[in-house]
C-alpha cells in the first residue's frame, strides 16, 4: 500500500512542477517588475557605493527584460522603432550620465504597466476554455441498430445519435424519436426548460432533462450554434478599439521624433552653437532622459489602479484600465433580462380561483401534485404554497405526466388537471380576459381543472430585481439610453421594459441575433455597454464596447466581460460610470501637466538653463505629482 502511494505521488510531481512553471510563465512580467522595485529600494538604501550600483543594474536587467525583449523583437519584425526601444535608450542614457536611480525607476514604472497589460490579456483566453468545457467530446451513435460511442468529429449529417437524460446534446439536430424537456439556458438564457418532441430542433451544449431521445444531425459539429458562440467571442476579442489604434500610431511618431531630435542634439549644437563636445553630449543625454515618457506613463497607471481599487471596494471589478476609461463614453447600455434585470427564476404572483373555491385549498391540491415534479414552475408553486401559506402537502393517489400539456393527479379521490388552458377544459375561456391581462404583464399561466371545469389559475413571473428600476433611472439621469435584449417573447419583453423604465427592447433573440442587435446599437449610439449573466450573453458581451457581467452569472459571462458587478447590484453600474468620468478628468490633467513639464524641461535644456540636477528634479517631481494626483481616486466615494 505504501509503495502504491509513493508511485502515485511520483506521478503527480511532474504535474505540480508543470503547474508552477505555467504560473511563472503567465505572471513572470509582474514578478520581474516587483523584483525590479525591490532592487531599486535596496539601491536607494545603500546609495553611494558599488553595491548600490549593482542593485540598480539588476533592476535594469530584471525589470527591463520583458519590455526589452518585446521591443527588440517587434523592431526586427516590423522594422520600426517603438516606445519600448525609447525606454531602453533613455535608461541607458541616464546611466551614462551617472543617474542610475533615474533609469531604474523609469524601467520599473514601464515594466509594471506592461505586466498589468499582459495579465489582463491572458485573462481573456479563459472564457474560450470555459465554453469548450460545455461541448461534449463524444456522442452515442446509433448505426444498424447498435449503439457506439464515437468522437463528435466523426459525426456526419443525417447520423442518428442517442441522448440520455442528464446528458448535454453534442450536436445540432432534430428529434426523430422520443419526448423530453431541454434546458436551453446555455443558448437562450431562459431558466424554464422547453418541451421537445419529434420534429423539434435541439442545439449542441443544451441539456436533455427528462427522457431519452434520438436526434438526427442537421449540421456539421463545427457549424453548430454553440461553435458560433465560441467564434463570436474570439472574433470580438481580437478587434482593436479606436483608442488602441490611435496609441499605436502615436507611439511610432513619438519615438521617431524624440530619437531624431536627440540625434541632432549630439552634433548640431557643437557646429552651430559652438558648444563643446562634452556639453553637447551632456545636453543630448539630458534630453533623452527628460523626453522619456515616464511622467506620461505615471499619468495613467496610478490613476487607473487607484480607480480600480476604489471600484473593488464597492463591488465593481474592472479587468483593465481601458475598460474603465471607456465606461465614461457610454451612450447606451443594453440589458439581458433573465438573471440581470430579473431574479432569474419564476415566482408565483397571482392565484385566482372560481367562485366558491378557496385559494388555500386549490394551492394545496396543486402543490401536492406538483411536488413530484422538478420543473421550475412546479418548484415555484410548491415553494409559494409552503412559505406563504404554510401548507402541509399530501401525496397524490395517482399521477400522470402528459408531455407537452401538463399533469393529471388524483387527490382525495378527485382527479385534477394542471397545465395549459386547452388541456384543462374548453371552458377555460371563462378566465380568458383575466389570463390575457396577466399575459400582457409577462406572466406564465398555469390552469387548474377538476370534473366541473376550470378550478382556477396560477400566474408566475420572473420578477424584477429590487434595484433594477433605480439602476435604470440612474443611467437615464446620466443621459445614457437603456435597451433590453432578451430571448423571451415580445409580450414578456414589453412588460419588463415597461416596469423597469426601459423604452427600447428587442425580443426573441438567440445569441447570434444579440450580436447583430449589438452591432446595430453601436452604429446608432457609437459606444454601447452590454449587461448579462449567461453563456448566451457571452458573444454580445464580447461585441459590446464594454461588457458587464453580474457577479453570480456563469463562468463564461464572467470571463468574457470587461467589468463585473460582484454583488449582483445593478446600482453599481452608474457608480462605475461616474468613477470612470472622474478618472478620465484626472488622467487628462496629468497628461497635460506632464507634457507641459517635458516641454519646459526640453526648452530649458536647449537654452542651457537646465542643469542636470534640476532636470532630474523636474522630471521626477512631475512624475511624483501626477502619481499623487492619481492616488486621489483611492478616497473617491464614486
Instruction: Give catalytic residue positions.
Output: 336
Q: How far is CA 404 from CA 179, 261, 447, in A?
A: 9, 78, 14
The 3-state DSSP class for residue 320 equals: coil
Q: How far is CA 103 from CA 86, 195, 278, in A?
A: 12, 68, 21
**DSSP code, position 337:** I
The values of phi and psi at residue 219, to 5°, are -140, 145
Cα gap 183→483, rounded to integer Å = 26
Q: Which residues of 21-59 are buried (b: 16+ CB within 10 A; e: fewer)?
A: eeeeeeeebbebbbbbbbbbebbeeeeeeeebbebbbbb
Dig out the grid coordinates for 385 from the structure.
404554497
**DSSP code, position 504:** E
Are 447 and 551 in contact by the 8 Å Cβ rule? The answer is no
Burial of 634 from C-beta contacts in 10 A (0-12 / 13-18 / 19+):
middle
Instruction: Indicate the angle between helix axes 100-123 and 2-45, nearest 10 degrees.
Output: 140
Dig out the grid coordinates for 225 from the structure.
450554434
The values of phi and psi at residue 418, to 5°, are -130, 125
Only one residue has cell 430542433, namely 201
Are 256 and 81 in contact by the 8 Å Cβ rule? The answer is yes
The values of phi and psi at residue 49, to 5°, are -135, 180
Burial of 383 from C-beta contacts in 10 A (0-12 / 13-18 / 19+):
middle
* Nearest to 134, CA basis, from 252, 41, 229: 229
* Nearest to 389, CA basis, from 408, 365, 372: 365
Instruction: Find the farthest-apart pair of alpha carbons in the chain and give their distance in angstroms, rounded.
Output: 115
Cα gap 554→179, rounded to integer Å = 28
Strands 332-335 and 481-485: parallel
The values of phi and psi at residue 602, to 5°, are -65, -45
Cα gap 611→615, rounded to integer Å = 6
Amino acid at each position: 500500500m505504501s509503495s502504491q502511494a509513493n508511485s502515485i505521488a511520483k506521478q503527480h510531481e511532474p504535474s505540480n512542477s508543470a503547474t508552477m512553471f505555467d504560473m511563472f510563465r503567465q505572471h513572470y512580467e509582474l514578478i520581474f517588475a516587483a523584483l525590479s522595485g525591490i532592487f531599486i529600494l535596496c539601491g536607494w538604501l545603500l546609495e553611494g557605493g558599488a553595491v548600490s550600483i549593482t542593485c540598480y543594474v539588476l533592476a535594469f536587467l530584471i525589470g527591463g527584460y520583458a519590455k526589452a525583449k518585446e521591443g527588440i523583437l517587434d523592431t526586427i519584425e516590423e522594422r520600426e522603432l517603438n516606445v519600448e526601444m525609447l525606454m531602453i535608450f533613455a535608461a541607458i542614457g541616464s546611466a551614462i550620465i551617472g543617474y542610475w536611480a533615474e533609469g531604474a525607476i523609469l524601467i520599473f514604472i514601464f515594466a509594471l504597466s506592461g505586466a498589468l497589460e499582459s495579465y489582463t490579456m491572458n485573462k481573456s483566453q479563459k472564457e474560450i476554455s470555459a465554453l469548450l468545457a460545455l461541448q461534449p467530446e463524444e456522442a452515442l451513435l446509433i448505426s444498424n441498430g447498435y449503439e457506439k460511442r464515437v468522437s463528435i468529429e466523426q459525426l456526419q449529417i443525417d447520423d442518428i445519435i442517442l441522448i440520455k437524460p442528464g446528458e448535454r446534446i453534442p450536436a445540432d439536430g432534430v428529434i426523430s424519436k422520443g419526448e423530453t424537456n431541454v434546458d436551453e439556458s446555455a443558448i437562450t438564457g431562459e431558466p424554464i426548460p422547453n418541451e421537445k418532441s419529434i420534429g423539434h430542433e435541439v442545439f449542441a451544449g443544451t441539456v436533455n432533462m427528462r427522457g431519452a431521445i434520438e436526434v438526427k444531425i442537421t449540421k456539421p459539429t463545427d457549424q453548430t450554434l454553440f461553435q458560433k458562440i465560441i467564434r463570436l467571442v474570439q472574433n470580438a476579442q481580437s478587434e482593436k478599439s479606436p483608442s488602441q489604434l490611435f496609441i499605436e500610431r502615436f507611439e511610432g511618431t513619438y519615438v521617431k521624433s524624440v530619437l531624431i531630435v536627440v540625434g541632432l542634439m549630439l552634433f548640431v549644437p557643437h557646429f552651430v552653437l559652438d558648444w563643446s563636445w562634452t556639453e553637447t553630449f551632456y545636453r543630448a543625454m539630458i534630453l533623452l532622459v527628460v523626453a522619456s515618457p515616464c511622467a506620461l506613463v505615471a499619468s495613467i497607471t496610478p490613476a487607473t489602479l487607484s480607480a480600480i481599487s476604489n471600484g473593488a471596494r464597492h463591488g465593481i471589478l474592472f479587468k483593465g484600465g481601458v475598460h474603465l476609461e471607456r465606461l465614461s463614453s457610454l451612450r447606451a447600455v443594453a440589458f439581458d433580462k433573465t438573471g440581470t434585470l430579473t431574479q432569474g427564476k419564476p415566482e408565483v404572483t397571482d392565484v385566482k380561483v372560481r367562485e366558491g373555491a378557496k385559494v388555500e385549498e386549490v394551492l394545496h391540491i396543486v402543490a401536492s401534485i406538483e411536488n413530484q415534479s422538478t420543473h421550475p414552475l412546479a418548484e415555484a408553486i410548491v415553494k409559494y404554497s409552503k412559505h406563504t401559506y404554510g401548507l402541509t402537502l399530501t401525496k397524490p393517489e395517482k399521477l400522470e405526466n402528459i408531455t407537452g400539456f401538463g399533469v393529471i393527479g388524483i387527490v382525495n379521490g378527485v382527479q385534477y388537471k394542471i397545465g395549459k388552458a386547452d388541456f384543462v377544459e374548453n371552458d377555460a375561456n371563462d378566465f380568458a380576459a383575466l389570463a390575457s391581462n396577466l399575459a400582457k404583464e409577462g406572466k406564465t399561466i398555469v390552469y387548474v381543472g377538476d370534473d366541473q371545469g376550470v378550478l382556477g389559475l396560477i400566474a408566475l413571473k420572473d420578477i424584477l430585481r429590487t434595484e433594477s428600476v433605480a439602476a435604470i433611472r440612474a443611467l437615464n439621469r446620466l443621459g445614457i439610453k437603456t435597451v433590453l435584449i432578451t430571448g423571451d417573447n415580445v409580450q414578456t419583453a414589453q412588460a419588463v421594459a415597461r416596469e423597469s423604465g426601459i423604452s427600447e427592447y428587442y425580443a426573441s433573440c438567440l445569441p447570434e441575433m444579440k450580436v447583430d442587435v449589438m452591432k446595430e446599437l453601436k452604429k446608432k449610439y457609437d459606444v454601447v455597454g452590454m449587461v448579462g449573466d449567461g453563456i448566451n450573453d457571452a458573444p454580445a458581451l464580447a461585441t459590446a464596447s464594454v461588457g458587464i457581467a453580474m457577479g453570480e452569472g456563469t463562468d463564461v459571462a464572467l470571463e468574457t466581460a470587461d467589468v463585473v458587478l460582484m454583488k449582483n447590484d445593478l446600482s453599481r453600474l452608474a457608480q462605475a460610470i461616474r468613477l470612470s468620468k472622474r478618472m478620465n478628468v484626472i488622467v487628462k490633467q496629468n497628461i497635460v501637466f506632464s507634457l507641459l513639464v517635458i516641454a519646459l524641461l526640453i526648452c530649458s535644456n536647449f537654452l542651457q538653463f537646465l542643469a542636470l540636477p534640476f532636470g532630474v528634479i523636474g522630471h521626477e517631481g512631475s512624475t511624483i505629482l501626477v502619481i499623487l494626483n492619481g492616488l486621489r481616486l483611492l478616497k473617491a466615494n464614486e
